[in-house]
A and B are shown apart, each in its own frame.
Chain A
Amino acid sequence: MSHSAPSLFDKAIIVPAIGEACRKLNPRLMLKNPVMFVTQVGAVLTTSAIFTSSADRCFVVQLAVWLWFTVLFANFAEAVAEGRGKAQADSLRKARKDTQARRQRGGKEDLVAANMLEMGDLVVCETGDVIPADGDVIEGIASVDEAAITGESAPVIRESGGDRSAVTGGTRVLSDRIVIKITSERGNTFLDRMIAMVEGATRQKTPNEIALTILLSALTLIFLLVCLTLKPFGSYAGIEFSTPVLVALLVCLIPTTIGGLLSAIGISGIDRLIRRNVMATSGRAVEAAGDIDVLMLDKTGTITIGNRMASDFVPAPGVSELELADAAQLASLADETPEGRSIVILAKAKFNIRARDLLQQHASFVPFTAQTRMSGVDLEGRSVRKGAAESITQWVRQHGGIYPSEVGQAVTAACNAGRTPLVVADGHRVLGVVELKDVVKGGIKERFAQLRSMGIRTVMITGDNPLTAAAIAAEAGVDDFMAQATPEDKLKRIRLEQAAGHLVAMTGDGTNDAPALAQADVGVAMNTGTQAAREAGNMVDLDSNPTKLIEIVEIGKQLLMTRGSLTTFSIANDVAKYFAIIPAMLMVTFPAMAALNVMKLGSPQSAILSAIIFNALIIVALIPLALKGVPYRPLGAVAVLRRNLLIYGLGGLVIPFIGIKAIDLVITTLNFA
């Protein structure tokens, strides 16, 4: 899957969308969108009026054409949004080829079609096999190519037990043999859901969308009443309003702009998530993301870069810092762990100590073991070790040395500052302490500040002790932290926040994260995680990048903002349309009403046509905005409201005046009406 959004004018999407827009004219499909359905009925009535009405036929024909365009433009917007998803669905579908599964049953193995598998079945997969359905690895370890769903070509390891046991149907085993227990029902695998999601096939209206549809339908009903009653009001005043004119007024007043773009906005919101490689199980989850006001973030990988880094050398009394750095570097040269490498880097940065070829010095590397809890190197009679304070203390005493109390103090001080001390010894001599610290990601503090200004609180979750946690929390600028957090603590905390009225988002990967993921309003499971975690959350991040939670919240907010802005714009448009159409409707009978024709439109007919044309064209003009979303800025609610109100509220009042006047000029010049 590609990360980049296709161009808005991609031919491969636009051309089929035109056909799709016509197909969507089916009244049964249109009924789902009451606003556009009313428009379509209006278009039908106007079309029939071409033959029955006594009004100027040329005018009615043009009106009918533009009414149909209004409906088609709205359908086109939806079709384009869907088209962008379909392209992705097609590539996913290739992964769902009919595969054969080696099912184990009662000690025997038989070959069945993948779609015959049931939940709980055991399946064997070996090198080259496509995994037939979602499941958990219960035996073995394998490297798996998940490019089909994640787009990431590097293989991942999947093994039984632990947090990396989940496999996805449609991915391919590259090496070794695993036994998988199927955890998904037929036709409801992750891949199936993903395809349905990008295609919008199972797209259900989200709560906000339902509420908005109700508002728009009620407004439509109100304007229907306004236009229907205008007929008797007119005949009282001696004016016979023709059906096409009343339809034109109705279509201009009902919120066609937002009505026509509403579903496109929703689809493209989900689309934006998918482009960031996040799969939401429902549109509801995307919307909920916008409402989040508490983010529970795992420290490692989100707030700090994965590993600790050496930051300081604290030499023991009588030892120079250079000597300590030299020994520490020596002890770390063969150490391939990130911590080890960071010591080498620090030694080079501080004292320009270069890497030495250990083999030439007849060195032998002593690797870290759980028993010794230290690592180091033996060369030319020297045994340099680095490790946890207790281990080194023991080592030094065994070699007849003493452990200076100053080093003990340095160790305590480092712990208090939230750092991890490594003590370095050369034989019986303690040389000093290397401090390792968590490195907070660049820019994360600013990001949290932005979130705070938007009213979102961040809670850092870590297994560290409270001291370490507090130090990192202060450095990263989170609002709160949970130290030595267990999955149960997380669950408890989420419930507590929710009881206080907050909406909580979190990420997780382990099976024991599952309850918390399920409890959270937005639970983002890492794709590398267990099947249980992936089932429990309402989103899966295919890149397994916990930082993405912040982006998810932003996408949710942007989705809601786009809807609200276009609704406001649509409703505000009515003022100008009234000023175009009402004088036009009355001017023939009451020439005095010309005073209300503030836009000085050419003729009553050109006024009505201009309003209808503007109404149709504005839908097309706003398709890019609907698909891309309104520009998102991390500001507080008051600032965002003021800004959007100014752009879409005031803009919605003013733009149609300009637009209708411009169209009128064109129409009048071309003599269309």
Chain B
Amino acid sequence: MRPTDWLQLGLFIGILAAITKPLGIYLTQVLDPAGKTWLDPVLRPLEKLTYRLMGVNPWREHGWKGYTFAMLLFSAVGVLFTYAILRLQHLLPLNPQGLPALSPALAFNTAVSFTTNTNWQSYSGESTLSYFSQMVALTIHNFTSAAVGIAVAAALVRGIARHSAATLGNFWVDLIRSTYYLLLPICLVFAVFLVSQGMIQNFKPYDTAKLVEPITLPVGTIDAAGKPSTEPQTITGQTIAQGPMASQAAIKMLGTNGGGFTNANAAHPFENPTPLSNFMQMLAILAIGSGLTWYLGKTTNNQAHGWSVWAVMMILFVTGVLTCWWAEAHGNPIHQAMGVVAADGNMEGKELRFGIFNSSLFATVTTAASCGAVNSMHDSFTPIGGLVPLFMIELGEVVIGGVGAGLYGMLVFVVLAVFIAGLMVGRTPEYLGKKIHAFDVKMAMLALLVLTASILGFSAWAAASAWGRAGLNNAGPHGFSEILYAYSSCTGNNGSAFAGLTATPADGDSHYNVTLALAMLIGRFLMIIPVMALAGSLVKKNIAPPSAGTFPVAGSTFAILLLGTVLLVGALNFLPALALGPIVEHFLMLHEKLF
């Protein structure tokens, strides 16, 4: 825990805080159909043309059902479109490696994964997907799934801010404006920046490099009788993946998608060449989510509320970073006692050019924000270091969270916090002047229940099944953490993996791919539907004017309350499961046992 690292942490949070307001102001314009941006001269005609082609009247707003239906329709078409491309990959262009079509389960898993902004990857990008698949089938979703998240968050914020109304905005307008005015221009600039750092952007076939020192590895084969065996094989050359990486990396961070072009994701030197590119990518992950809290404050006319929500997110975030960093910096006592590793921490699974701090920070950023890009192996973290990313996801992806998704997830907790504690001031609980009634509580709890049920339910199924245990690389609590992490990551639409879990086994078992895909669908849409219903209920309510008796939704008391609700109502449910995973692993490690 060096002073320079502290400095960088301070710088990171400082810059994030500084860009929150400008981004929030910009978001306010983007999310208003009549909003003005300096890109209007270029993009307005394109925007209008798009509406005309789609037959959308941008001034006609939807109620919550119409909005949700449009969103579901759009997402369903997206899943089918991507599924079709992946299944037909071998027939489509831009496939210099001649890669075959994906299996149905893997194609389904991947299509769902990218549509839901999860970007869980049950495959290795460079050895499975063609350039066409990457760019058309997947990158499109990186934009649209992010825009869908922003749209839903905007609809909920409008539901809170408007009163005695029926409509929440026009889904197509929110989708298109977020994509055109926000994501595309920033990505364009960001991609150019990443190229300047050495990230590649080409359509070349993969390169082959001759190794200076050939290595010999045991390679597993299956003989004619179906018996597996290994035989040594000497490797003299290495295939080096190429492709349009910068364009995908930009949106993968900004849109909190996280799906890497390569399997190594942001640990790959081409996908994350320099410490600066690393720093900027981390910033990009949190940027829009952070700006949306300002948008919340602006739209509800209570900037202090927006900042309070931001502050709660940052308290959780910084606590996570410090815990993870501390655990990694202290490393593994067993290894240190044996003299296997230096005492400066746990460097297993980390890139030397990032080191302990930047790996811990990245791991916390990417899981706090439901991004899922990784620059180190979470699987190789110490138990507590690995607990932090898992816990960040299980908080409900509300620590900044996925673009849009983080805000609406956090607002669900705000509604619950207001309801539980609101009664304590002696009034029917009210959130920004709106009374919280049975229906609102029902929808908020439903959103929470769905997440818990998906994570614990699927994990239990996998842990109890032969197919679940077969996919694990590690035994004991660490293996359990791998399962728990996979379903948490998918349900939370994060997409990062604890690694060590083989979702697409060689025997073709599709249980993992299908259940993980279901977890992603549940975590995304079964969460959005109650959230939209909540927005629909809130928008109809009248606003009671604020008075001395009004429940405060800003300031330290509210922040403590929200913090308590996120931890007690949201995360405590996972404590027993975590106790059997990383927590017990930690204590066993202290008693000199590893997995």
Contact = CB atoms under 8 A, between A and B. Distances in A.
A502 B48 CA distance: 43
A391 B426 CA distance: 54
B438 A207 contact: yes
Given A225-B457, A560-B427, A233 B442 contact: no
A233 B460 CA distance: 6
Of the listed residues B560, B569, B587, the one surrounded by the most CB atoms of chain A closer than 10 A to its CB is: B587
Interface in A128-156: none
Interface in B436-490: 436-438, 440-442, 445-446, 448-449, 452-453, 456-457, 459-461, 463-464, 469, 476-477, 480
B576 A230 contact: yes
B445 A215 contact: yes
Size bracket, chain A contacts: 35 or more
Contact of B549 (A501, A575, A637): A637
A214 B569 contact: no
Interface stretch (B13-21, B172-180, B318-326, B578-586): B578-586
A640 B476 CA distance: 49
Contact of A574 (B420, B433, B460, B568): B568
A641 B480 contact: no
B437 A229 contact: no
Contact of B476 (A230, A237, A556, A560): A237
A229 B456 contact: yes
A401 B136 CA distance: 108
Interface string A52-94: 0000000000000000000000000000000000000000000
A223 interface: yes
B459 A578 contact: no
B419 interface: yes
A611 to B, nearest CB: 14
Of the listed residues B436, B441, B453, the one surrounded by the most CB atoms of chain A closer than 10 A to its CB is: B441
Contact of B449 (A222, A290, A293, A595): A222
Contacts of B435: 291
B572 interface: yes
Contact of A454 (B469, B545, B549, B564): B549
B243 interface: no
B575 A501 contact: no
Contacts of A586: 579-580, 584
A178 interface: no
B542 interface: yes
Nearest to A595: B587
Nearest to A218: B445
A232 interface: yes
Contact of A233 (B416, B438, B463): B463
Interface stretch (A330-338, A524-532, A563-571): A563-571
Nearest to A457: B547
Contacts of A590: 584, 587-588
Contacts of B437: 207, 211
A560 B428 contact: yes
Nearest to B458: A229
A532 to B, nearest CB: 29
B542 A501 contact: yes
A214 B438 contact: yes
Contacts of A503: 544
Nearest to B435: A291
A649 interface: yes
A8 interface: no
Of the listed residues A208, A232, A236, A590, the one surrounded by the most CB atoms of chain B closer than 10 A to its CB is: A236
B552 A207 contact: no
A592 interface: yes
B588 A592 contact: yes
A78 to B, nearest CB: 19
Contact of B425 (A211, A225, A228, A561): A561
Nearest to A565: B424
A499 B476 CA distance: 62
Interface in B37-90: none
B577 interface: yes
Contacts of A558: 426
A289 to B, nearest CB: 10
B468 to A, nearest CB: 9
Of the listed residues B441, B549, B551, B579, the one surrounded by the most CB atoms of chain A closer than 10 A to its CB is: B549
Given A214-B441, A455-B548, A225 B456 contact: yes
B425 A640 contact: yes
Given A218-B445, A225-B456, A644 B424 contact: yes
Interface residues of B, number: 70
Nearest to B544: A501
B10 interface: no
B contact patch SS: helix
Contact of A232 (B463, B551, B574): B463
Given A457-B547, A592-B588, A638 B424 contact: no
Contacts, number: 219
B441 A211 contact: yes
B584 A210 contact: no
B189 interface: no
Given A234-B580, A586-B580, A596-B583, A571 B460 contact: no
A669 interface: no
A456 B426 CA distance: 12
B576 A455 contact: no
Given A229-B459, A233-B459, A290-B427, A568 B453 contact: no
A360 B342 CA distance: 118
A324 B73 CA distance: 90
Contacts of B584: 237, 586, 590, 592-593
Contact of A211 (B438, B452, B545, B590): B438
A640 B426 contact: yes
Given A222-B573, A500-B545, A578-B572, A215 B441 contact: yes
B421 A225 contact: no
A632 B425 CA distance: 10
A641 B421 contact: yes
Contacts of B445: 214-215, 218-219
Contact of A636 (B422, B452, B460, B549): B549
A648 interface: yes
Given A232-B464, A592-B587, A568 B557 contact: no
Interface in A435-478: 452-457
A645 B549 contact: no
A222 B588 contact: no
B543 interface: yes
Interface in A574-608: 574-575, 578, 582, 585-586, 590-593, 595-596
Nearest to B423: A564
B448 A592 contact: no
A215 B420 contact: yes
Interface in A535-559: 556-558
Given A225-B452, A564-B424, A454 B544 contact: no
A578 B590 CA distance: 22
Given A557-B426, A568-B424, A229 B577 contact: yes
A62 to B, nearest CB: 23
B561 interface: yes
Which 10 A-B pairs have CB atoms at the shortest separation, nearest pair first?
Answer: A455-B549, A564-B423, A557-B426, A455-B547, A218-B445, A564-B424, A592-B587, A232-B464, A229-B460, A455-B548
Interface of B: 163, 416, 419-429, 433, 435-438, 440-442, 445-446, 448-449, 452-453, 456-457, 459-461, 463-464, 469, 476-477, 480, 542-545, 547-552, 555, 557, 560-561, 564, 568-569, 572-577, 579-580, 583-584, 587-588, 590-591, 593
30 contacts: A210-B438, A214-B445, A215-B420, A218-B446, A225-B456, A229-B457, A231-B460, A293-B544, A452-B548, A454-B426, A454-B548, A456-B547, A500-B545, A502-B544, A557-B426, A564-B425, A571-B568, A572-B568, A575-B568, A578-B572, A578-B575, A586-B580, A590-B588, A593-B584, A637-B427, A637-B548, A640-B425, A644-B421, A645-B421, A645-B561
